[in-house]
Structure 1
Amino acid sequence: MAELKIIEPACGGWRGSLTIPGDKSVSHRSVMFAGLGDRPVHIRNFLHAADCLSTVAVMRALGVQIQFLGEHELIVTGKGLHGLTEPMGVLDAGNSGTTLRLMMGLLAAQPFFSVFTGDASLMQRPMGRVLQPLSQMGAQIFGRNGNNNLPLSILPMQKKLRGICYDSPVASAQVKSAILLAGLYADAPTTVTEPYVSRDHTEQMLAGFGVRMERSGTSVTVFPVQKTKYCAPEEITVPGDISSAAFFLAAASIISGSRLCLHNVGINPTRTGILDVFMEMGAHLCVKNRRQSGGEPVADIEVEAAPLHGVSFGAQIMPRLIDEIPALAAAALFADGDTVITGAGELRVKETDRLHAIAEEFQKIAPGSIEEREDGLVIHGGAQLQHARVASRGDHRMAMSLAVLGAAGEGAVLEEADSVNISYPSFFSEIKRLQESGRD
């Protein structure tokens, strides 16, 4: 039975400091890319959560040796760029769209057969957007519902994939990354052009592995890699995930008396739209102690309660904060005036239809406060909040945003609270600790 969690109203604010868990996107890629090397790679601050463990399981099934030294520390020893082996059974991506889509690109070039499945949510998510460009490269991938849904079969390649120039209709790091990974094995350079630049963890990390990458505007090109040119680093330290930090940035901004310091937060410029929007809303944020961790910029962020005001933002910034919309929506309910979000249609094909889920579930706590639009939301700030029973719908980011909303308001009963295990297993224990600190 799915977990039911009682969310108590915050009393005295949330106070203290916390170290944000490892970035989910970087954790996935660190295991995948290290698995293509031929020497041990020591990965620190790995996100030990369900999605990233799906990637670990898939890479192990492909013959990669992975040894955990602790919950957040592991050593990955690959068998070389061309050393992956045919899996004995069906590969299970669980709930992880990142695992599935990136591995589609990686396995499209392999000389062996593979089949993917996933959980009920992932079975419904669209894969055609990845399959189409990979097919242009020569890959043979077949799936349910017109090759758009799991399960998917990837047929063996007996020759190199074709390098292509692909104009992506969406700014999606997962789509881009799948094409770039396939491009490692192509017969010519592969270029992906997006309407806006999406998060660039794949480009940054591949460059760190010795892969030649070139960027021009919203286009990025990967050059085919010779085995001797793919050089894995000895160590990767994963920065803290700004998508997980977003819920505490929101909570500290809207819960009276709060003051938090978030340590080791990744501030890759392709991910910091959340900070830009919060600052525009009037949040009291201070980014301190900037440094590098695992080739990525990180910092500590101090945040305290502040009066917020409504803002408008849309498609141009969306690739830099798409996963943070639920946290921003919770904060917007406490702002003065309306917050208008457009260009967010991508949220309809996440773990759930997040636009619809936010509109329905948030309004159980704040009736009449949200208008659902085709590609966004209009959030009316200053609504009267009430205690309510709400559901995460199996979506980890919905669960965390509803928990923040309940704590900032009159409390809530949260169904399927265990969905936080997808990205932040210690989320509720952190809330408890910070609430107790605020009462001291």
Structure 2
Amino acid sequence: MHEQTLSVPATGGGVKGTVRVPGDKSVSHRALVLAALAPGRSTIEGLSRGEDPTHTRGALAHFGVEFLDEADGTVTVHGGLRHEPVDVLDCGNAGTGIRLLAGVCAGFDGLSVLTGDRYLRRRPMDRVADPLRRMGARVDARAGGSLAPLVIRGGGLNGLTYHSPTASAQVKSCVLLAGLAASGPTTVVEPHPTRRHTEEMLTAAGARVQVEGTSVTVHPGPVAPMAHTVPGDPSQSAFWAVAAALAGEVELPGLYLGYGRSDYLNVLRRMGATVQVEESTGTVRVSAARLRAVQIGGEEVPGIVDEIPVLAVAAAGAQGTTVISGAHELRVKESDRVASTVAMLRAFGVETEERPDGMVVHGREEFSPAAVDSAGDHRIAMAAAVAAVARTSGLSTITGWGSVATSYPGFVEDLRTVSGAAASVGA
């Protein structure tokens, strides 16, 4: 499926309109996990229908958790992990899914095997395996314990204080979820603060959580069933926001604007885009302006790590030279996102230099039509589509388009609506 190709003819008109993006993928994963852990009936509204959360749902069903799709789109969950997984837990392409589930499996007294597609099996898992082993779980994996499949024998965990070498919300969440089943408090100390979905949602579900600066502590105990509402995904909205900043205007209603999730808007403001935020409704409006180059790096990166590929497209259309640094984490995403972002921009004729921790982007007024290989990475593919509609004057093609189904199955339909481009998907 990743071999699909998107063809995007230029329209010259940029983008204009309203886009209601899918439910937040990160929140969807966590809502499914917490509903599964809570004994009793929970409901989830606005759940992302992307392949990544669907794999998490399927994995949790192997523990005996029951999911029911209601006619109005709500998902009812009858939670409680009832037995060892009856099959291998296939996480597909979802790095968030496999790392959250690893924490769940470590806390469950049983044997679990977690794997994923060929892209996920290349991503580092020692960053979660190490703290789980320190808590008392038995974790085995390929490549000296660092690559999936993961084999986890859980139960009998002890609380710990873990100083994470990586600023990663996925690592933090994995350890905190395992901490719910530990014999004492579990604390994660990060080098920089990261997104707080898990802390917020654990607290809402009745868990005892304390946050102090870069330190988060969870106390063991059950979580309670609850009604989860998943807001719109700001990481998906970033594609339309950048397209509008380059050429046009869009309205993006109903977004999640919690800690660390709207930082990309601050970057666009610094670049000169017109950005309005209505906090009460989660509505963001972005319109074009003459963009200028900025410096991106340091503590800013954890809050925009998923948005960097499309922000690089904004930088490519800005006046001057943008430097992105401190982004080592991009090297171990669905693709090496430093290399794949640089390759994508160069395909559009943008002068770009690759660096070990980021890139240098020299802006230009117009991009050349391009043939882009997305390297099977959904964010590279969608960022390329934005570049194609915003600043080219010919036909562009993007291979590996099937990867977009992992997070945003309706992207092409929204692209046609706001750009008027007769975009089409073929084998």
TM-score scaled by length of structure 1? 0.93
Q: CA deviation at 1:70?
A: 4.9
Counterpart-to-counterpart distance in 1, 2:206 and 2:242: 38
1:380 pairs with 2:362: yes
Residue 272 (structure 1) aligned with residue 262 (structure 2): yes
* Partner SS, residue 5 of structure 1: strand
Aligned to 1:74: 75
The answer to whether structure 1 residue 231 and structure 2 residue 231 are counterparts is: no
Q: Which residue of 1 aligns with 2:166?
A: 170
Within-5 A mapping of 1:23-62: 23-62=24-63
Partner of 1:240: 232
2:283 to 286, 297, 300: 300
Alignment of 1:405-424 (within 5 A): 405-408=387-390, 409-410=392-393, 411-424=395-408
1:41 counterpart SS class: strand
Residue aligning to 1:294: none
Whether the 8 Å contact between 1:366 and 1:383 is mirrored in structure 2 is: no
Aligned to 2:419: 435
Aligned residue for 1:180?
A: 176
- Cα deviation digits, residues 16-48 of structure 1 (max 9, x gap): 112121000000000110111122212111100
**Which of 247, 250, 253 is matched with 2:242 structurally?**
250
Aligned-residue CA RMSD (Å) = 1.5
- Which consecutive segments of 4 or more residues in structure 1 shift more than 6 A? none
The separation in 1 between residues aligned to 2:383 and 2:374, in whole angstroms, is: 9
How far has the Cα of 1:345 moved from its partner?
A: 0.5
Corresponding residue to 1:358 among 341, 353, 358: 341
Matched, 1:392 2:374: yes
1:88-112 CA distances to partner (integer Å, 9 max, x unpaired)? 2211111001110011111112111
SS of 1:366's equivalent? coil
One-letter code aligned to 2:264: I
1:142-172 alpha-carbon deviations (Å, 9 max, x no partner) = 0100000011111243xx3111111111110
Identity of aligned residues (%): 40
Q: Structure 1: 5+ residue runs without aligned partners?
A: 292-297
Q: Which amino acid aligns with 1:413?
A: T
Question: 1:93 corresponds to which letter in structure 2?
Answer: C
Structure 2: runs of 5+ lacking an equivalent: 423-427
Cα distance, 1:391 vs. partner?
1.3
Matching residue's letter, 2:249: R
Is 1:211 aligned to 2:207, yes or no? yes
Distance 1:402 1:299 in 2: 26
Is the 2:105–2:153 Cα contact (8 Å) retained in structure 1?
no
Offset, 1:383: 5.8
> Secondary structure of the equivalent of 1:145?
helix
Measure, in 1, the Cα distance between the counterparts of 2:262 and 2:344: 26
8 Å CA contact 2:14, 2:389 repeated in 1 = no
Q: What secondary structure, in the 3-state scheme, does the structure 1 residue paired with 2:284 have?
A: strand
Instruction: State the secondary structure of the residue aligned to 2:37.
Output: coil
Give the structure 2 partner of residue 283 of structure 1.
Answer: 273
Which residue in the other structure is 2:425 paired with? none
Of the structure 1 ranges 35-44 and 55-64, higher mean CA displacement relative to structure 2 is found in 35-44
For residue 267 of structure 1, what is the amino acid of its counterpart?
A: L
AA in 2 matched with 1:183: G
Secondary structure at the counterpart of residue 322 of structure 1:
coil
Query: Which of 1 and 2 has higher RCO (CA within 8 Å, sep 6+)?
Result: 2
Q: Which amino acid aligns with 1:430?
A: D
SS of match in other structure, 2:282: strand
Whole-angstrom distance in 2 between the partners of 1:94 and 1:84: 23
| TM-score between both structures, scaled by the size of structure 2 | 0.95
- Aligned match of 1:317 in 288, 296, 300? 300
Which letter maps to 1:113? L
Aligned-partner residue type, residue 339 of structure 2: H
Q: Counterpart of 1:191 in 2: which secondary structure? A: strand
Which residue in the other structure is 1:334 paired with? 317
Partner of residue 131, structure 1: 129
- Residue 120 of structure 1 aligns to a residue in which SS? coil
**Secondary structure, counterpart of 1:126 in structure 2:** coil
CA distance in 1, matches of 2:324, 2:118: 29
Matches of 1:18 and 1:386 in 2, distance apart? 27
CA distance in 2, matches of 1:415, 1:437: 18
User: Are the equivalent residues in 2 in contact too, given 1:15–1:437 (CA < 8 A)?
Assistant: no
Mapped partners of 2:323, 2:292: distance in 1: 12
Q: CA deviation at 1:273?
A: 1.4
Counterparts of 1:424 and 1:361 in 2: how far apart (Å)? 20
Q: How many Å separate the matches in 2 of 1:97 and 1:259? A: 32
Maintained 8 Å contact 1:260/1:302 = yes
Greater Cα shift, 409-418 or 310-319: 409-418
Contact 2:313 2:387 in 1 (8 A): yes
SS at match of 1:239: coil
Assess, with a 3 A threshold, how the Cα gap between structure 1 residues 413 and 71 changes in structure 2: closer, same or farther: farther
Change (3 A) 1:71 1:61: farther
Specify the alignment match of 1:198 in structure 2: 194
Residues 239-263 of structure 1 deviation map (CA, whole Å, 9 limit, x = unaligned): 11110000000001112xx121111
1:64 matched to which residue of 2? Answer: 65
